[in-house]
Copies of this chain bind each other. A is one copy, B any other.
Amino acid sequence: MIKRDIPDIIVSRLPVYLRALRHMQTQNLQTTSSQELGKQVGISAAQIRKDLSQFGEFGKQGTGYNIAFLVSKLREILQVEKVWDVALVGMGDMGHALARYPGFTDRGFRITMFFDNDQSKIGTKVGEFKVQDTRGLVGAIHAAGIKLAMVCVPAEAAQEVTNQLVEAGVRSILNYAPISLSVPEGVRVQYLDPSVGLQRMTYYLDQNK
């Protein structure tokens, strides 16, 4: 597939469409419309048609989108038709919750390396994998060629861990530490910060009700 220069904001919406479409699949639906999809995800039908048209002709006037076809196209565009190995650093509460999170299956990801600097955690098992010492992080991730990582360490350790991940060759970081991370150009960070999630909604709340 030839990649054009798609605006980040559109790319960021595609996984949301993909999730909604897969949800429709679990309900045994075969086709959908931009209206229906828009209702599911809270984005206007016009915006959805515009977003998807960036990547080619997906829908047919009057008959809507074939869900299975659109799912497979979106997975291809997002490069999640393969399974990416992911490293996870920090086996505290959040790290454990992510290790057991059922939503990675069949969505393109598998956590295959776990790290912590706590001697009591190193060597313990997470499923079929052993928690490794963070001191060996750079070598282990580099050797495995892993490009994706999740940072679940405390705020004060997050930048140092991030520097090591970048050194190891990681290019995409999901950050759970409640701080902003500095990364060099070419490395992406996504923040899954619950406070930000909540703050995005309080704007709309009427304080007087």
Spell out A's residues near B (CB within 8 Å): 6, 9, 11-12, 14-16, 18-20, 23, 40-42, 77-80, 82, 84, 86, 92-94, 96-98, 100-104, 107-109, 147-148, 150, 154-155, 171-172, 174, 178-180, 182, 188-205, 207
Contacts and interface: CB of A to CB of B under 8 A. Distances in A.
B102 A202 contact: no
Nearest to A207: B79
A40 B108 contact: no
Contacts of A190: 197-198, 200-201
Contacts of A199: 14-15, 18, 78, 80, 107-108
A138 to B, nearest CB: 17
Contacts of A204: 11, 171-172, 188
Contacts of A16: 191, 196
A174 B191 contact: no
A92 to B, nearest CB: 8
A11 B203 CA distance: 8
A195 B103 contact: yes
Nearest to A21: B180
B15 A196 contact: yes
A103 B178 contact: yes
Given A19-B180, A191-B16, A203-B14, A198 B77 contact: no
B196 A174 contact: no
B148 A198 contact: yes
A37 to B, nearest CB: 10
A20 to B, nearest CB: 5
B148 A200 contact: no
A40 B180 contact: yes
A84 B107 CA distance: 34
Given A108-B198, A174-B197, A190-B201, 8 more contacts: A79-B203, A79-B205, A93-B96, A93-B100, A94-B97, A102-B155, A107-B195, A107-B199
A86 B202 CA distance: 11
